Amino acid sequence: MDGAPKATPQEHEILLVTGPSGAGRTTAINALEDLGYEPIDNLPLRLIPMLIDGPAAGRPMALGIDVRNRDFNATGLIELVDTLTADPRVTLELLYLDCAPSELIRRYGETRRRHPLAPEEAPALGIERETDLLAPIRVRADHLIDTSEMSPHDLKAEIGQWFRRAGTPGLAVSIQSFSYKRGVPRGLDMIFDCRFLNNPHWVPELRGLDGRDKGVADYVVADSRFPEFDQRLRDLLLFLLPAQKAEGKAHVAIGFGCTGGQHRSVAVAEIMGNALAEAGWTVSKRHRELERRSATARPHGSG
């Protein structure tokens, strides 16, 4: 005996996510992934104990389980819950996503998908069978969310309120500049046109610089219309971003465009990105057209 303290068993935090098909399990798994969970969907029940025998993941796991699992049955899932609950290495919770049968029928009618328990029959029959099958699991749930009147955005927001962990990254804001001549980037949530501002391209000593350079930024800011534009835009974004976060979004992309994507859009993107960062938001900045320059392009002088 060397007197050294015994190592504390590594703890696994597991959230089992289940419920009737069509109730929003995939949406919930994606929302949990945005909150920092490691998602694994449709893992066979018999393989789950192997996760516990392996090294700790370092973050909680969200395991999606439904009737499509090859070895799924209610008794087996309940036995698995009992086994994991008794394991000192495991912290386990069961999230059950419920939904009214009438709403599930409506959703299947919209998507025209076959129900896994009635592939050759009407979805209503599969919904009825699945409801009966899952009844013993529903009563064992630690958390129950009824998604009958929820949109996917509502469900993501609800998941965020229930399962956001301390230290989980909040809404990430991506600021991008671009040239309208090359088209609008995909995936932008908001776009602001900066072509009304004075163009540094027509100033010979500024033409070869870009919006990160102080001279270019000063020229753009000196436009008499810029102060009001800047204030209105800040107010708008600082109003919208908390609302986007409350909705459950994990990422918002904001684009600023101008003719060439080198001067005005870059300058405004830099100014607005810095303002949002100072307001406490997690901000990343990307300048699409500047990235197209060759690796031998001169370094900018923004300092």
Q: What is the pLDDT of residue 3?
A: 45
| 226 falls within a domain | yes
Global pTM? 0.57
pLDDT in tens, 132-158: 888 888 888 888 888 888 888 778 878
* Domain boundary pick from 141, 163, 185: 163
| 28 falls within a domain | yes
Q: What is the pLDDT of residue 113?
A: 79
150 and 176 fall within a common domain = no
Q: Which of 273, 268, 85 is nearest to 174 (CA)?
A: 273
| 296 falls within a domain | no
| 128 falls within a domain | yes
- Determine the structural domain holding residue 178 and report its residue range: 172-291
Q: Whole-number mean pLDDT of the chain?
A: 84
101 and 156 fall within a common domain = yes
Q: What is the pLDDT of residue 65?
A: 87
| 300 falls within a domain | no
78 and 140 fall within a common domain = yes
In this prediction, residues 224-234 reach a mean pLDDT of 97
- Residue 302 pLDDT more than 60? no
122 and 103 fall within a common domain = yes
Instruction: Say how many domains are in the chain.
Output: 2
What is the dihedral sign for C-alpha 88, 135, 102, 107? positive
pLDDT in tens, 21-37: 889 999 999 889 888 88
137 and 182 fall within a common domain = no
158 and 237 fall within a common domain = no
Evaluate whether 101 touches 124 at the Cβ level (below 8 Å).
yes
